[in-house]
Amino acid sequence: MISCIAIDDEPLALNQIVTYVDKTPFLSLIGKFESALKAMSFLQDTEVDLMFVDINMPDLNGMDFVKSMTNPPKVIFTTAYSEYAIEGFKVDAVDYLLKPIGYSDFFRASEKAKERFQSKATEPTTVESNDKFLFIKSEYKILRIQLSDIKFIEGMREYLSLHIENQKPVMTLMSMKKMEAFLPENTFMRVHRSYIVNLNKITTIERNRIIFDNKIYIPVSEQYKTKFQEFLDDNFLV
């Protein structure tokens, strides 16, 4: 399932995209916004696979919005003006839909996005892992990291910082989604867009924040709060 959001300052156009997403079996809408600024705030805490973005919007137009992102989700632009097509493809847009948008064109563009995700899923990864250790590339070295030594993992744009007991953090070029897929679910949990924690290393929780070493506060965001609460409930002694 491809998670997506829709952004358009015209309510009718926005509702049309929402309706089309609901009709498409491999798409899942997790947010709709009437401005790029509102979407930007949402994306700070939530990971999204695909965005349907109108280009002509007040305050911040869709093209500038996408260009402002360091590592944006896949994008399908929507607009009433055909002159933006070339510029759209310059930012590696999946497709460009000219209003008024028919469902057949919408579905065809969504299929293109689906094919990109399927192609990416078959690419070779730089990580080899099991439930004991993993290998990662860091600078010019390949390092073996014991999973039991990892306290938490922090996402820093295109990089991850692995915070490990009794040593400096290790940086590697990788996405949070790829790292999350390789870690054992019974030990590691995503609690925020930017954080994965080792559940065995948690000792203190305060006001929806996990505290490490009495000085590092990791927030549990709304998106992951239910799953984290289930973990607490399963291990809570009353």
The overall average pLDDT reported for the chain is 88
Measure CA of the first residue to CA of the last residue in the chain; give whole Å.
38
- Are 136 and 117 part of one and the same domain? no
- Are 137 and 76 part of one and the same domain? no
d(CA 206, CA 238) in angstroms, rounded, equals 18
- Are 132 and 116 part of one and the same domain? no
Domain boundary among 86, 121, 156: 121
- Determine the distance from the C-alpha atom of residue 226 to the mean position of all C-alpha atoms in its chain, rounded to a whole number: 18
67-72 average pLDDT score: 84
Residue 81: which domain range?
2-121
Domain boundary among 78, 96, 121: 121
- Return the CATH number at 223: 2.40.50.1020
Domain boundary among 90, 121, 152: 121
- Are 176 and 117 part of one and the same domain? no
- Are 117 and 187 part of one and the same domain? no
Q: Residue 81: its pLDDT value, please?
A: 75
- Are 105 and 188 part of one and the same domain? no
- Are 155 and 218 part of one and the same domain? yes
State yes or no: pLDDT of 122 exceeds 70: no
Q: Residue 59: its pLDDT value, please?
A: 81
- Return the CATH number at 10: 3.40.50.2300
* 100 C-beta neighbours (distance < 10 Å), count: 9
> Quick one: pLDDT band at residue 83, thresholds 50, 70, 90?
low
- Are 117 and 151 part of one and the same domain? no
- Are 102 and 157 part of one and the same domain? no
- Are 114 and 150 part of one and the same domain? no
Q: Comparing 45 with 196, which gets the higher pLDDT? A: 196
**For 147-165, how does the pLDDT look when each residue is reduced to its tens digit (9 = 90+)?**
999 999 999 878 999 999 9
Burial 123-150 (b: 16+ CB within 10 A, else e): eeeeeebeeeebebeeeeeeeebebeeb
d(CA 189, CA 60) in angstroms, rounded, equals 35
- Are 146 and 229 part of one and the same domain? yes
- Are 10 and 67 part of one and the same domain? yes
Split into its structural domains, the chain has a count of 2
